[in-house]
Amino acid sequence: MNRQRLATATAILGLLGSLTTGAWTGGPAPGRPAPPTRVTRVPAAPGSTTALSGYAIQSTAKVSDSAAAVSSPGYPATGWHPAGPRSTVLAALLADGVYADPFYSTEQRKIPKSDFQVPWWYRSDFTVADTSERTYLDFSGVISAADVYVDGKRVATTKDVTGAYTHHELDVTSLVRPGTNTVAFRIRPNDPNKSLTMGWIDWLQPPPDENMGIVRDVVVRRGGPVALRDAHVVTKLDVPSLASADLTVKARARNDSDAPVTATVSGSVGSTTFTRTVSLAAHQTKTVTFSPSDVPGLHLTSPKVWWPAGMGGQPLYDLNLTASVSGTPSDTAHETFGIRDVQAPLNSDGARQYRVNGRKLLIKGGGWSPDEFLRWDRRYVEDRLRYALDLGLNTIRLEGHLEPDEFFDLADRYGILTLPGWECCDKWEGQVNGDEPGDRWTPADYPVAKASMAAEAARLRDHPSVVSFLIGSDFAPDATIEKNYLDALRAADWNTPVVAAASDNSSPQSGSSGMKMTGPYDWIPPNYWYAKREGGATGFNSETSAGPDIPTLDTLRRMMTPAELDTLWKNPSAKQYHRSPSSTFGTLKLYDDALTGRYGAPTGLTDYVRKAQLAQYENVRAQFEAYERNATDAAKPSTGVVYWMFNSGWTSLHWQLMDRYLDQGGAYFGAKKANEPLHVQYSYDDRSVVVVDNRHTAASGLNVRATLFDPDGTQRYDKTVTGVNVHGDGAHTTALTLPSSVSGLAKTYLLRLTLTDGSGKEVGRNVYWLSTEPDTLDWAHTDWYYTPTTGYADLKGLASMAQVPVSATASTVSSAGTSTTTVTLRNTGGGRTPSLLTDVHLVDARGRPVLPVRWSDNEVSLWPGESVTLTARYRTADLHGSAPRLRVSGWNTPEHTVPAA
């Protein structure tokens, strides 16, 4: 993120000011036993890979025994804490009940940061029955560095094992004994400004341990004399025909014995098999390659092509390899890959335009945040990726914090494109970012960075969901750093675009990034997005949003005290701990001033939250709609937009389309509305009513109706246009343009757009609340994070809308662990007033939201007599045994709850 002028340091230091006396200091409670023994059984099968199942951890300040003792089998880890196989220190302590919920109020401030400024021990035991096979430790994800010990012997130092992304393979064959063995890591404290690891910048209040620990699996590998490594497939798809593809299989065969050997490497892709004999001198490594020139079956006709979601299917292929010596398997390798082609040239305006399999697409994405404590929860990740599809997004951007392999496996399966890259604002860009945070590099950092790039390239290259790597974020690397990155990528056979930066920067070899990072990051009005300047809808905006995204009242009550909630709506200038450690984003003043200026001062917490949902709906919708409308423009088209951010790693008040608990509000449903496959929308800049077709197929014979109403439902304007046609693949057509003035129209008014097919069936609806007094932007005083607003749209007339009853009838069916609730809403009011932004929340018997849930639509607006049927899909188990209920509320709809069983 573009963080010039951020003053995070003082805010982060403020964490130290509220430490409480009597807090846990790292030592065991009196009489605390050793954690349960978790011994991982490692089979002898050649090619087996077994992740260590868990650890016991302890601060070195509480351990006086020698490293040799700590790392030896049978060591009594009395008073130590259990930790999962992927766990930071603080994540383990939270799981062990040492601290209160850090997501609530300011509890995280009470955790003593000093406890994590010394190394911590991680130890784990594993057993082997047969030591005739070779044994290796294989790992990455150590934050920030570690000395590594096996059975009392040091096998690597912090000089060797440093950096969150570097990959390490240690041959420990000579140390492993039959029975129980011990692996121990002495983890060094993390400082992202000093090490090439991970930091949080201004996304959230950084964890007191700075994520020190081991956050990826430590794997024990077994094998014979010849190891297979670096197995992968280079694909070349014929574009645009997609009629054929060439596959090149590569792997390194490594002789780890002291004598020459002859190995047979055999493999298969689908029904195609291949084999080769390789002679290897002692400790020699050779690359084994199979290509269509020697294996005709690797030239595929009619290949199964992988597509992003909504553009086609997501078929995957399997590569299987075996290395044998004298007929005995020595090692195996398996990779899953997809066949697709990605190009991202610069268009005539210098913007990066992505093409997948020859077809252009508008990148519509969100910035990904892992859990603040880097806890991996596959189901939670999968739930969020399903939300991305539900929102009509096609891309997730990872600025650093590159998730484990399963994340990319899921993205492959769901057809979600990913844009991984290095992060800004710490050591990663310290050499090129001037006076921004992050130490300048020393000679020791360059090989760590190159090794990190090599490791991630090897890990990500076979995933069809990965369509680029951003080797810079706010800044592009200099010539030396870039060369190291590119050399590593080429050596890994990386065959998708490499982007110099997420900002408008260039690097010597990669050239222009073709992206912009012009903000905004704080509140701006909806009409901002339509200007083809700054962060508006032109080019590729790698991270942008209108800043705050206030969650639902349910979530606010889970994350803040009553006193904090009182301050939230009463005091715009108050520092908000759950917004950001940055002084720039420390308060909600810009947002709250706009909320009051446009909608009127909040009268209480509930009123504040309902106005926030209305404001977030209109703004997020406008952001995506503007980029979609401009995607096929002849001049200065939009090519990509990444909402900053898709989600938050903790309980937050900004930068999120859904909250920590996966609840959905105005931001979520505004994005979902904007990204409909076939969509009718209003343009804030020129009053045009446009139909956008995000499907591949064209649409014809559509009817577009635009109607203007006063808030009380009085109709002031109505026009229908028939026979509207629109091409697919993101094309748009203008159906009509609203007049600049309409006689008698109220200062605050409503616009209802309906889209019907040739038979008259409604296939789309969109409702706007607008003003004859537009928001006025002060472009001349644009800052890096927002453009000032000198005059607000007057939407206060919405407060005059009469209360309108909305009835709800519902039923639920369940099958195979999934429930579907169908609800019909009807505006039963007797007058003319519509129900605006009527929300339906699925709740359990205690009134708690059932989450996650995927609605067909929500936050809908209905005119008297109108009805709509919605569906909600969710896991039956999330009802916790109760019958489902529906809580109906809205801008002008009294809240009530109805049964949905």
User: Tens of pLDDT along 585-617?
Assistant: 999 999 999 999 999 999 999 999 999 999 999
Find the DSSP H helices in 377-506. 378-390, 405-414, 445-460, 479-491
Cβ count near 420 (within 10 Å): 25
Token pair in block for residue 788? 């000032």
Rounded to two decimals, the pTM is 0.94
- Quickly state the pLDDT bin for 217 (edges 50, 70, 90): very high
pLDDT at 372 over 90: yes
Nearest residue to 310 (alpha-carbon basis) of 801, 614, 737, 678: 678
Token pair in block for residue 787? 């453009």
> Rounded mean pLDDT of 533-559?
97
pLDDT at 10 over 80: no
> Rounded mean pLDDT of 259-264?
97
Residue 19's pLDDT is: 28
Helix H or strand E encompassing 596: helix 589-599
Tell me the C-alpha distance between 695 and 608, whole Å. 37
User: Tens of pLDDT along 612-622?
Assistant: 999 999 999 99
Measured CA distances, 744 to 502, 684, 714, 748 (Å): 48, 21, 10, 11
- Catalytic, 474? Answer yes
pLDDT at 20 over 80: no
**Cβ(670)–Cβ(643) under 8 Å?**
no
**Average pLDDT along the chain:** 94
| 851-860 b/e (C-beta count within 10 Å ≥ 16 → b) | bbbbbeebbb
Token pair in block for residue 369? 């945040």
Nearest residue to 659 (alpha-carbon basis) of 559, 592, 563, 588: 559
pLDDT at 8 over 70: no
| 887-896 b/e (C-beta count within 10 Å ≥ 16 → b) | bbbbbbbeee
Tell me the C-alpha distance between 437 and 7, whole Å. 9
- Quickly state the pLDDT bin for 575 (edges 50, 70, 90): very high
- Quickly state the pLDDT bin for 694 (edges 50, 70, 90): very high
> Rounded mean pLDDT of 253-268?
97
User: Tens of pLDDT along 126-136?
Assistant: 999 999 999 99
Dihedral, CA atoms, 846, 848, 852, 858, nearest 10 degrees? Answer: 110
- Quickly state the pLDDT bin for 6 (edges 50, 70, 90): very low
> Rounded mean pLDDT of 177-197?
97
pLDDT above 70 covers what percent of the chain?
96
Tell me the C-alpha distance between 515 and 383, whole Å. 29
**Cβ(759)–Cβ(770) under 8 Å?**
no
- Quickly state the pLDDT bin for 574 (edges 50, 70, 90): very high
pLDDT at 102 over 50: yes
Helix H or strand E encompassing 137: strand 134-139
Judged by DSSP in three states, 693 sits in strand
Tell me the C-alpha distance between 460 and 815, whole Å. 36
- Quickly state the pLDDT bin for 283 (edges 50, 70, 90): very high
Residue 435's pLDDT is: 86
- The sign of the torsion formed by the CA atoms of 225, 159, 116, 647 equals negative
Residue 38's pLDDT is: 79
> Rounded mean pLDDT of 93-122?
97
Q: Which residues contact 581 (CB under 8 A, 6 or more apart)?
A: 8, 11, 12, 14, 202, 204, 205, 206
Judged by DSSP in three states, 404 sits in coil
Nearest residue to 490 (alpha-carbon basis) of 450, 544, 526, 542: 450
pLDDT at 351 over 80: yes
User: Tens of pLDDT along 758-799?
Assistant: 999 999 999 999 999 999 999 999 999 999 999 999 999 999
* β 120-128/39-41 pair status: parallel
Dihedral, CA atoms, 474, 480, 485, 490, nearest 10 degrees? Answer: 140
- Quickly state the pLDDT bin for 23 (edges 50, 70, 90): very low
pLDDT at 510 over 60: yes
Q: Which residues contact 225 (CB under 8 A, 6 or more apart)?
A: 134, 255, 256, 257, 261, 325, 330
Tell me the C-alpha distance between 557 and 686, whole Å. 41
* β 638-643/539-544 pair status: parallel
User: Tens of pLDDT along 323-343?
Assistant: 999 999 999 999 999 999 999
> Rounded mean pLDDT of 203-218?
96
Tell me the C-alpha distance between 265 and 330, whole Å. 10
User: Tens of pLDDT along 653-676?
Assistant: 999 999 999 999 999 999 999 999
User: Tens of pLDDT along 379-417?
Assistant: 999 999 999 999 999 999 999 999 999 999 999 999 999
User: Tens of pLDDT along 700-755?
Assistant: 999 999 999 999 999 999 999 999 999 999 999 999 999 999 999 999 999 999 99
From the candidates 335, 412, 474, 534, which is the catalytic residue? 474
Residue 54's pLDDT is: 86
Judged by DSSP in three states, 659 sits in coil
User: Tens of pLDDT along 830-863?
Assistant: 999 999 999 999 999 999 999 999 999 999 999 9
Token pair in block for residue 264? 């047979």
Lowest mean pLDDT segment, chosen from 27-31, 567-571, 689-693: 27-31
Q: Which residue has the higher pLDDT, 27 or 340?
A: 340
pLDDT at 16 over 60: no
User: Tens of pLDDT along 622-638?
Assistant: 999 999 999 999 999 99
Tell me the C-alpha distance between 156 and 146, whole Å. 8
From the candidates 133, 151, 522, 543, which is the catalytic residue? 543
Judged by DSSP in three states, 862 sits in strand
Nearest residue to 549 (alpha-carbon basis) of 385, 664, 382, 398: 664
